[in-house]
Structure 1
Amino acid sequence: MHRLLSLLGVLLAACAGGTAPGEQRLPAIISYAGPDSVRVSVPAGARAGAPFTVTIEAYGPSGCVRQGETEVTVSGLVARVRPWRYEPRGEEIACTAIFQIFQHPASITFAEPGTATIRVEGVGPDETPVVAERRLPIAP
């Protein structure tokens, strides 16, 4: 019994993250109506050296789409945030017609005060790149 539970734990851990066989990692769908419709929750302000969280809303047009990671890179007062999704490869896949909404949290820390830019990069439903920017003051 212990051996069976151990095997089950390993199998569940293997399925929990990353790209599964037959899947592809793609930029998250963050807009259905251009960059002005991207939903990004940003605080009114933050302090230099203190982490804060922004949340990006992304969409899965079918039940086969899984939420992926959210990558953050910071350079000076610009944060680049890239949410991802996972989808099955191939054309012969049967998926349920469930529209999904994913919340991609991202922790950001700016080292210096000033006006910061948060640049969210994803795609529209036709895979066209979409970039949305939000600004917020960073206090000393």
Structure 2
Amino acid sequence: MPETEPPAPWEYTLSIPNDPRAVTVCRRTLRLILTLHGLINLVDTAELLAAELISNAVRHTTGPAALRLRWSGGVLRIGAWDADPEPPDPPLALDQLTCAENGRGLALVRACSDVWGWQPQSRNGNRGKYVWCQLATA
């Protein structure tokens, strides 16, 4: 049986305004991108993770934001950039989730992704942060 070459790396960035409707736009765009790249098995989890990251960016900041998707080496990285350089609040422990009214987003990201993190960003005079998570296909 001939060996197939691994899919080539790709990256997409979707810039969005600070508008709660942008979360839906990001979810639908992510679903389309992953489907077109043959990664349908990642769609549901990736959509949940992207929605949590983007909704945090829109809810807790006042400036623009961006959804970033990168595929490389069998790993999908989903990230949200926003203009606020302050770190995100740490995720709640799983036993705190049932009582909490807020703060469940990053706990879901931590529970559903292989790894997550954040880093401050400074580019072209713009400051902010990038919160990301990764999903592997295998």
Q: TM-score range by the shorter chain?
A: under 0.3
By relative contact order (CA 8 Å, sep 6+), the higher-ranking structure is 1
Structure whose CA Rg is larger = 1
Which has the larger helix fraction? 2
TM-score (norm 2): 0.27
Which has the larger strand fraction? 1
